[in-house]
Amino acid sequence: MTVPEVTYSESTATPKVRSTPLSHLSIELGHLYMEDFAAGPERLRAQFRRVRPWAEALRRMEADSRPGQATRISTCFLIDDYFAPFGSPAEVLPALVSAAEESGLRIDYIARESACAAADGVEVARIVEGRLVADPPRGTNGSRPPTHQSGWLSNGEPPSTGVAVSEAMDAHPGWQPPRQNAVKNHSIYVDVEIWQEHKTGRLWACPFLAAVWQLLRMGLLRDHGEPVWRPEPVTPAELPGTWHEMPAVVQWEPRAAPFAAFRTASVLDTRFIEIEQAVRVILSQVAIQPEVGAQVARRAAAEGVTLPDEVVDRIDYVFTSRA
């Protein structure tokens, strides 16, 4: 006779998933790197002048999709303080906001890229790594280490010379091309490095941090049921002198719509195309916490918002060239 196994737990043992305020659209106005800031204020103004017409078009498109209804749209900007820290918040943020305003744009929220790795004692990137679900191609034989060991993630089967699988007397099978898992007519195979281990610790790759950034902008990450990021209002006089003292994301505009949104759109330089392609490969293999996904879906339905099931289909891009 088999005795059924019964597990008892307190109802308070499972943390409640707290909701986060959501806009309809989050528009990213760009990324700021050391070389961009070092080039001077005119470089920043030129960047924002290129971005402005696209940002305005995205606003109109969102408003047109909701005729007769109020539309919540927020803007954000990401600063690289992870790979090449530069300046200080007290120096950089006012110059950035001023350049945007002179070009007719308003920045609502400004975030630190290093906070996509860790913020306020939370290992944000580790949370996302823990939700990666492998997408092994057909015929996988275990010769490739899993992502959590190798630090690499792909969307298909890599090329093979066939040497490792040929028997001594067999004909050499020859080179086999890579193949995308979800192939449509022709394969576009992508292999993404998501981290490296160093003596000083793990260095997360730019595409992985950018994938974390997208998930945060969609309000899809929780730590023990709590939103990972909480925007903090600041004034210029309150800006700290070092990046690690700055909140993960600051709310610059007091009347801004919520930071996170049902959908995101990013207006970026063409140099980010390869990174964002890698971001889409990563996000296609991230399993969103079911309670969080269901919560966002319910709220979208209540507002009449059509929300694609796949996270990557909630992201839009505009790529512009400096030329």
Between CA 94 and CA 135 the distance in angstroms is: 44
**Beta-bridge mates of residue 23:** 261
Question: Does residue 251 contact residue 231 with C-beta atoms inside 8 Å?
Answer: yes
pLDDT at 6: 46
Question: Does residue 109 contact residue 256 with C-beta atoms inside 8 Å?
Answer: yes
**Residue ranges in the chain whose pLDDT is less than 50:** 1-9, 11, 166
Q: Where are the beta strands (DSSP E) in 221-298?
A: 222-223, 226-227, 232-233, 249-251, 261-269
With a CB cutoff of 8 Å and minimum separation 6, the contacts of 260 are 20, 21, 22, 23, 26, 216, 217, 218, 219, 227
Question: Does residue 175 contact residue 185 with C-beta atoms inside 8 Å?
Answer: no
Number of C-beta neighbours around residue 164 at 10 A: 8
Structure tokens at 69: 């209804």
pLDDT tens-digit map of 277-296: 999 999 999 999 999 999 99
pLDDT at 190: 86
Q: What is the DSSP letter of 168?
A: T
Instruction: Locate all alpha helices (DSSP H) within the chain, ordered by sequence.
Output: 34-38, 41-64, 89-102, 124-129, 147-150, 206-217, 273-283, 290-302
For tokens 């995101």, the residue is: 264
Question: Does residue 25 contact residue 263 with C-beta atoms inside 8 Å?
Answer: yes
At 319 the three-state DSSP class reads strand
Q: Where are the domains of the chain?
A: 23-120+209-269+289-320
Between CA 152 and CA 135 the distance in angstroms is: 12
pTM over 0.85: yes
**Beta-bridge mates of residue 110:** 77, 250
